[in-house]
């Protein structure tokens, strides 16, 4: 590849396809749909979704109406279903119509708005989210019962998909998982015509009871492990590398970078790398994370806006050598843990300053 002065973000769509195949193999019989909100977790909704389409994905989920509109443009004339988790907030109906988006009804007022639309038009299609225990989005079971049990029923409202979301799927031992599952089964009985979708990435790995008919694959498509730690069944989709700019020596007592970042307690060799938090490397990884330099993972001593400092010991490192901050060697979930966050956030923070290269575009 042409040498670059910038950090480089390689987005490997073959790895994405591999991860899709992994999700499919652990959820046999279910349809794996793709969650591509936040510009496909920062990796580019266009190239990501077109490759997923080429791999047979026909159903996509986004959070915002504007994300749905952008995705529709990116997908062109491909006949994909696009669902919007925000549901049907006031004033957006025309935008849903124009872009061919399906709301995932998230509140009771939205449900009433959808019923009114259905009555006025003779038919309206909306998915329904049920809150089974996260307490942030969706109809409660009581609200769902009232909706399903109204004398006029759902009228002309067509509910093709019933959605709920697990709050503790990354922790298979959590009691909230079976509790949410039980509530979801109650909800399913209220809307027997709808297909059902409970599992996101974490739920896909929780076992068949959690799969239902449509699995909403998000972070695991992009390489994040279902239990917030690296999973060998998944490949790295995003690889962030940057060149070593300089190799310097520190003597005991030398202070590094700003403030109290680091004081050498012995002689050290450090590599200064041309990437920083402006490229999306989360600053909180400083002192905890590791970068892959000269064939090993080495401590990330400083994360500044434009520069990283890595302790390289005696390794043969010279200016121009690559440092991998995220990728097949410096694993996504490890970096997330080092920064005190989740893989989702590490991905969405990757910035536009890094040069983007796509492999395997459809």
- Shorter beta-carbon distance to ligand PLP: residue 84 or 270: 84
Chosen residue from 27, 102, 177, 201 binding ligand PLP by CB under 6 A: 201
Q: How far is the CB of 134 from ligand PLP (least distance, A)?
A: 9
Alpha carbon 313 to chain centroid distance? 35
Q: How far is the CB of 259 from ligand PLP (least distance, A)?
A: 35
Contacts of 285 (CB under 8 A, 6+ apart): 300, 303, 335, 338, 339
| 215 is an interface residue for ligand PLP by CB under 6 A | no
- Shorter beta-carbon distance to ligand PLP: residue 218 or 223: 218
Residue 68, CB half-sphere, CA atoms under 13 Å: how many?
A: 28
CB atoms within 10 A of CB 321: 16
Number of residues that bind ligand PLP (CB under 6 A): 13
> Quick check: 306 and 202 in contact, CB under 8 A?
no
- Shorter beta-carbon distance to ligand PLP: residue 35 or 302: 35
| 218 is an interface residue for ligand PLP by CB under 6 A | yes
Chosen residue from 13, 26, 35, 337 binding ligand PLP by CB under 6 A: 35
- Shorter beta-carbon distance to ligand PLP: residue 26 or 200: 200
Q: How far apart are CA 273 and CA 281, in angstroms?
A: 12
Q: How far apart are CA 281 and CA 287, in angstroms?
A: 13
Chosen residue from 59, 183, 216, 290 binding ligand PLP by CB under 6 A: 216
Chosen residue from 165, 211, 212, 290 binding ligand PLP by CB under 6 A: 165
Q: How far apart are CA 73 and CA 78, in angstroms?
A: 10
Query: Where are any strands of DSSP class E within 78-171?
Result: 81-84, 101-105, 124-125, 127-129, 157-158, 161-163
- Shorter beta-carbon distance to ligand PLP: residue 158 or 345: 345
Residue 233: DSSP 8-state: T
Chosen residue from 74, 344, 347, 354 binding ligand PLP by CB under 6 A: 344
List, by residue number, the catalytic residues.
37, 258
Backbone angles phi, psi at 148, to 5 degrees: -70, -30
For ligand PLP, the nearest residue by Cβ is: 218
In the stretch 80-99, what mask flags binding to ligand PLP with x, by CB under 6 A? -----x--------------
> Quick check: 353 and 7 in contact, CB under 8 A?
yes
Residues that bind ligand PLP (CB under 6 A): 35, 37, 85, 165, 200-202, 216-220, 344
């Amino acid at each position: 590849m042409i040498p670059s002065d910038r950090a480089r973000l390689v987005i490997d769509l073959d790895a994405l396809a591999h991860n899709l195949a992994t999700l499919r193999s652990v959820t046999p019989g279910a349809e794996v749909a793709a969650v591509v909100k936040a510009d496909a977790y920062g990796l580019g909704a266009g190239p990501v979704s077109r490759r997923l389409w080429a791999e047979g994905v026909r159903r996509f989920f986004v959070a915002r109406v504007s994300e749905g509109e952008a995705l529709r443009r990116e997908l062109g004339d491909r006949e994909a279903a696009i669902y919007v988790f925000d549901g049907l907030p006031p004033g957006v109906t025309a935008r849903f119509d124009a872009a061919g988006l399906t709301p995932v009804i998230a509140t009771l007022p939205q449900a009433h708005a959808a019923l009114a639309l259905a009555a006025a038009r003779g038919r309206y299609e909306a998915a329904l989210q049920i809150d089974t225990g996260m307490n942030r989005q969706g109809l409660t079971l009581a609200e769902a019962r009232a909706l399903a049990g109204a004398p006029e029923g759902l009228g002309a409202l067509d509910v093709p998909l019933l959605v709920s979301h697990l709050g503790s799927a990354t922790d298979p031992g959590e009691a909230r998982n079976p509790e949410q599952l039980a509530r979801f089964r109650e909800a399913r009985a209220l809307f027997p015509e709808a297909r059902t979708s409970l599992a996101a990435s974490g739920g896909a790995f929780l076992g068949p009871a959690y799969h239902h008919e449509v699995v909403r694959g998000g972070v695991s498509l992009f390489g994040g492990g279902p239990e917030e730690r690296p999973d060998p069944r998944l490949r790295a989709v995003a690889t962030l590398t940057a060149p070593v700019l300089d190799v310097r020596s520190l003597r005991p007592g030398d202070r590094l970078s700003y403030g109290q970042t680091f004081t050498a307690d012995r002689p050290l060799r450090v590599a200064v790398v041309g990437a920083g938090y402006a490229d999306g490397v989360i600053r909180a990884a400083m002192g905890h994370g590791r970068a892959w330099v000269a064939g090993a993972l080495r401590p990330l001593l400083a994360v500044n806006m434009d520069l990283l400092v890595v302790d390289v010991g005696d390794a043969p490192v010279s200016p121009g050598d690559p440092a991998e901050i995220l990728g097949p060697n410096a694993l996504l979930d490890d970096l997330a843990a080092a920064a005190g966050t989740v893989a989702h956030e590490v991905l969405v923070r990757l910035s536009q300053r890094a040069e983007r290269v796509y492999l395997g575009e459809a």
